[in-house]
């Protein structure tokens, strides 16, 4: 394979490397903030017995925890964590 073809293959492949899903990004942010120290396993995310009834409630909890524990999350970080928690635990309507 010629050098130009190798470079073309590399350039086409670049977006595939390091491009993780929003859910994976949210999980990474969540774990880095050590949220699981309070929200261990699945027990604190039982949507049937939880105070979180919609995405607005979930967003409020995420923002509140971020402020209480000084996570320094940006709005985008909070949105990614919301997507992660909703997809994995809550499955609330969008």
Q: Between the CA atoms of 8, 14, 15 and 21, what dihedral angle is there, to the nearest 10 degrees?
A: 150
The backbone torsions φ and ψ at residue 53, rounded to the nearest 5 degrees and listed phi first, read -115, -15
pTM of the predicted model as reported, rounded to 2 decimal places: 0.72
Whether 61 and 81 have beta carbons less than 8 Å apart is answered as no
pLDDT by residue (tens digit) across 3-27?
666 655 555 555 544 567 899 999 9
Residue 49 has pLDDT above 70, yes or no: no
């Amino acid at each position: 394979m010629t050098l130009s073809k190798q470079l073309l293959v590399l350039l086409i492949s670049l977006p595939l490397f390091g491009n993780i899903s929003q859910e994976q990004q949210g999980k990474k942010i969540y774990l880095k903030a050590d949220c699981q120290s309070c929200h261990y396993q699945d027990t604190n995310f039982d949507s049937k017995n939880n105070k979180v009834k919609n995405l607005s409630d979930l967003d409020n909890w995420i923002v509140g925890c971020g402020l209480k524990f000084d996570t320094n999350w940006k709005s985008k970080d909070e949105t990614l964590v919301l997507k992660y928690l909703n997809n994995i635990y809550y499955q609330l309507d969008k």
